[in-house]
Amino acid sequence: MHRSLAVVIGAVLVSVALPAQQTPLVIEHGVYGVHLIQRTIGSEEYDITDLGTHRQLSVTINTSDRGMKRKSTTALDYLPSLTPTRLEQHSITPATATAAAVDNISLTEITGGKVTVREGETSRNFVKPAVGFTGFASMPAAVQMMMMRYWLHHHRPPQLTLLRASAQALPAEIRPVGHDVFTVNGEIVRLTRYTVANLIFGREVLWMNDHERVAAIMTFAGGLPQEEILDEYKSAFDPLFQSGVRQEMLDLAALTHAVRPLAAGTFAIVGARLIDATGAPPVENSVVIVRNNLIAATGPAGSVRVPPGIRVIHATGQSILPGLWEMHSHYSGVEFGPALLSAGVTTARDCGGEFQFLLAVRHAIDEQHQLGPRLLLAGLIDGTSPDAFGLFTAATPGEGMGAVDMYADAHFDQIKVYTQIQPDVLRAIADEAHKRGLTVTGHVPAAVNSFEGVAGGMDQINHLQFVTRSMVPEDSKGQFTLADLDSDRAKRLIALLAEKHIVIDPTIGWGEMAGHPRNISTASFEPGVNAAPFPLAWRYNNIGIAGMDETKFHERMSANLKVIGALFQAGVPIVAGSDTNLIGYGLDRELELYVQAGMTPMQAIQSATIVPARVMHHDADSGTIEPGKRADLVLVNGDPLTNISDLRGVTSVVANGRVYDSKAIARTVGYHR
């Protein structure tokens, strides 16, 4: 007795008659827990089926991130030699109030010696290399497992070509870096630890067991810290995570070693246009003296003497500014440091990340002079809803106070409250934070509006949307409505924010990036995407909303820019942050949009220098170029007071007295400035 089986060979669907004993057989099965910032958000389940002539890996991922449910399916066909022949992935973007559901399809087909790859809007055809593996921007753990098996059985090449939709895609670099031993269910388990570079951005940490199964992965796919762990190892999640953090610190040390300072400690920068961010007119042909990592003197070349024998950095034709502040980062891996520094960012505020990692990387930068901006930390707390974000939640005032104390004891700078926090918990968190000397920022919780959030103790608000939502009629019931600046409600809110000096972090650039119509080219408003490594460039070139009406998009952007302008004119402190926008360049775009909102270039620059320094209580040592302050500086080609976009042309950055070449730092993480 026989049965018929449909299989894919190359790109052809073939019907094959199989004897009963050759019925397709599932030969491997596994389930991974998927975690975002250490919080479980779903699962990945896979099967490997023997189809006789070849095998197929089938993967289904279901997640729910802050109430947004997502599903993706992946099918990988491969030969007994582990050589892939076809990879197809469907990633379903759910419908929203403004857009229909979208099935994002990626497809790789290998026929003979030809490869065809399509990833979103990007595609190409090319000759198959002798050794190479298929891969997409978001590779499930099980697909990475097959890549690792392929690599192991093809003599562990130093570089593994990835069959991607762009010839600019860097090869994967897989390195065995150590072993970890754990006790799981009473048995000793030995895992081999690897780093894998160039799948997403920078390096992932990946563990395999002795049976060539991926046990766990630490990554930051999508711009936020993510972990996957095979169910049988879930009891070892914490020690695995700690091992991963230690590995990331080793990776950071390697990055630091790869690019040495051009000068350090004591030197002079001569000839640049000085924009000190105090509001004073620029000084042409200036001198800035740095001594022992502090600014010692500044002024015109004719009035500031350069001591004999001191190292001189010539900067004619450039502008020198205080190092920039990135006020909304989700610092998800050590590669963020070089990417931010190369953009002139010398101080970054993390607005919700992984506790142990943030403590470790802050220590490495501050105490060991590893590569990265000074980090200020806002500790994330959410409510206990299933839609909560992050690891630490609070259902009661007591739990909220306990979470505040944990962060305060770890020397965090702020508390960040999130959407599911209840009003009584918000008040308790704010009271305890203020007692401990911390300020409170974050999302305005869903249970309150901005008026009530301020009354509940919030000192700062992340994201303009939480301001504009309280500028529409109270009976709008969450429907999309543009803010009406002429309404009594909007005027009362602006007056309240100004009176209480509530700091607003608009992240309007991220709103533009995530919300623009797909038919508008990303590079048309964010040219930095052309300098990004391919995995990042692909993500931002394929982001946005399919089918969105361009007119409505421009109306929304225009309305939001008017709100920023009105807030600024009323005296509400505005600080620049890019959220999960393109790392480094996202801050440049934020400032360009502030100028469109009505700020002068100087005022926009101040929103990323002295204003954040002041609101974070660091204006005594940072934010302007004045004697006695930290030597945190940035040199750019051109004059950003004439053209704010000249901030994109960073040539050098000075981080706590150490001078780095921007291009050299950028190259360590795949950017080409």
Q: Do 10 and 109 contact (CB within 8 A), yes or no?
A: yes
The predicted structure's pLDDT at residue 19: 46
CA angle (477, 480, 486) in 5-degree steps? 90
Cα separation, 425 vs 181, in Å, equals 41
The predicted structure's pLDDT at residue 468: 96
Asked whether residue 132 is assigned to any structural domain, the reply reads yes
Asked whether residue 110 is assigned to any structural domain, the reply reads yes
pLDDT over 90 (residue 96): no
pTM: 0.94
Compute the Cα dihedral for 295, 301, 303, 305 and give only its sign.
Answer: positive
Question: Mean pLDDT over residues 177-194, rounded?
Answer: 95
Cα separation, 580 vs 220, in Å, equals 11
* Residue 313 β-bridge partners: 269
Asked whether residue 450 is assigned to any structural domain, the reply reads no
Instruction: Supply 336's token pair.
Output: 């963020």
Counting the structural domains of the chain, the total is: 1
The predicted structure's pLDDT at residue 82: 96
Tally the C-alpha atoms within 13 A of residue 580's C-alpha that lie toward its C-beta.
17
pLDDT over 60 (residue 17): no
pLDDT over 70 (residue 11): no
Q: Quick one: what percent of the chain has pLDDT higher than 70?
A: 94
- Which of these, 87, 100, 33, lies nearest to 62 by C-alpha position? 33
Asked whether residue 129 is assigned to any structural domain, the reply reads yes
Q: Containing domain of residue 80, as a range?
A: 22-258
Note the pLDDT tens digit of each residue in 359-416: 999 999 999 999 999 999 999 999 999 999 999 999 999 999 999 999 999 999 999 9
Mean of all residue pLDDT scores within the chain: 93
- Which of these, 335, 322, 393, lies nearest to 201 by C-alpha position? 335
Cα separation, 264 vs 492, in Å, equals 50
Split at pLDDT 50, 70, 90, the class of 14 is: very low
pLDDT over 50 (residue 18): no
Output the DSSP codes for 210-250.
TTS-EEEEEE-GGGS-EEEEEGGGGGGHHHHHHHHHHHHHH
The predicted structure's pLDDT at residue 120: 80
Asked whether residue 657 is assigned to any structural domain, the reply reads no
Split at pLDDT 50, 70, 90, the class of 12 is: very low
Of 166-175, 569-578, 584-593, least confident by mean pLDDT is 166-175
Of 92-96, 354-358, 457-461, least confident by mean pLDDT is 92-96
Q: Do 286 and 318 contact (CB within 8 A), yes or no?
A: no
Instruction: Supply 636's token pair.
Output: 């750019």
Asked whether residue 103 is assigned to any structural domain, the reply reads yes
pLDDT over 70 (residue 8): no
**Placement of tokens 């934020």 in the chain:** 590
The predicted structure's pLDDT at residue 149: 98
Split at pLDDT 50, 70, 90, the class of 22 is: low
Asked whether residue 117 is assigned to any structural domain, the reply reads yes
- Which of these, 180, 174, 177, 145, lies nearest to 161 by C-alpha position? 174
pLDDT over 80 (residue 309): yes
Split at pLDDT 50, 70, 90, the class of 662 is: very high
Q: Quick one: what percent of the chain has pLDDT higher than 90?
A: 87
The predicted structure's pLDDT at residue 81: 93
The predicted structure's pLDDT at residue 355: 97
pLDDT over 50 (residue 100): yes
Of 213-222, 576-585, 655-664, least confident by mean pLDDT is 213-222
